[in-house]
Amino acid sequence: MKISVIGTGKTGSKVVEMLGDNLAHAFDENNPPTVEKLRQSDAIIIFVPGDAVPEIFDMVLESGVPAAWGSTGYEWPQGLDEKVKTANTKWVLATNFSLGMNIIRNAIRELSSGSNILNNPSFNIHEIHHIHKKDAPSGTALSWKEWLEKEAEVTSEREGDVNGIHELTITTATEKIKLTHEALDRSIFAEGAIWAAEQLIKRVSLTSGVYTFGELFDLVIKESRND
């Protein structure tokens, strides 16, 4: 199994390190990818800023190689699923590659449902990241709001070299509920991205098209229960 990495910043470099002998190519501004080199891989893991996605989008699509995208701050074009299906390949998109974040996703949905019986609750999602993160609020914070399916204030903070802290607070006049996820080490994102790429390669039940990381996680859990 050979996996290429596009983007060798804070998280991409962790992926390169963890792949070891399974690394096909590591691409960055000084060593840009080509379709030919991408096709030497079984899968591609991509960690580039949202504004860099257009530079490689067509190339990754043309390669036909399954890809795990960890780019945030980019609005994916309409018809993306059809484009990927036409290329006969598979993509997974993630705002956050933490496997534990999928447990959080389910917890947020339970909290959202339970909050319906509370008296006039208010919702706040606060995220903290390192000072070099360009998009605010984070893609993960926006995903939390989507999972919550409630009107919520989303706030952001940038400080030091924080890997990522997300907190949901539900407040009423008489009580406060908090749910927090903190990334203690950037390797959790690398682990999740490699896991996703491996699923794209080996899981025969995955048909061509675009999956969210949550959809991929749920599919694998469901299949493991049926084994």
Catalytic residue annotation: 129, 133
Helix (H, G, I), strand (E, B) or coil at 124: strand
Q: How far apart are CA 5 and CA 22, in angstroms?
A: 11
Neighbours of 219 (CB within 10 A): 15
Q: Which residues pair with 178 in a beta bridge?
A: 169
> CA neighbours within 13 Å on the CB side: how many for 78?
0
Chain Cα centroid distance, residue 116: 29
